[in-house]
Amino acid sequence: MRKFTDRNYVGVVVSAYPWVPIEHHGDYFSLSYQVVHGGNVEVSGSKVVSGNVEGTLDDVFTLSSCKPFFLVTANQTSGAINGFFTQPMVGIRLKYNAVTVSGSLLSTLQLLQAG
């Protein structure tokens, strides 16, 4: 099992965050993920986070513009979204389409790969 370093995104904005390279050369592929939205968000304020977890089959080390594909919706302001993927991919990332918060928002992408 390989635990990836958690990716913490502070002050989340509408953006596609950097690709996280994934080992895809093993006999089988299994990647667990968790997206946690939390941090210092005012309870009385507006809280909207609309985004996706995306994957790519392109080489994230050599291409400046990888073609993404949709994996799962990541819409929340607190709590966690989690699951696993069994289809191989070369990279994974968070992409936020809309962000409205009072205060600042911290998002964390956690990954664990079997193999």
Tell me the per-residue pLDDT of 82-107, one tens digit each, with 9 for 90 and over.
Answer: 899 999 999 999 998 877 766 667 78
Q: Which domains does the chain have, with CATH numbers?
A: 2-113 (2.60.120)
pTM over 0.85: no
Amino acid at 32: S
Q: Measured between alpha carbons, how far is 3 from 59 in angstroms, rounded to an integer? A: 21
- What rounded mean pLDDT belongs to the chain? 82
Tell me the per-residue pLDDT of 30-41, one tens digit each, with 9 for 90 and over.
Answer: 999 998 876 544
Q: Measured between alpha carbons, how far is 22 from 5 in angstroms, rounded to an integer? A: 12
Query: End-to-end alpha-carbon separation of the chain, Å?
Result: 5
Give the closest residue to 77 by CA, choosing from 114, 41, 26, 23.
41
Q: SS3 string of 74-92?
A: CCCCCEEEEEEECCCCCEE
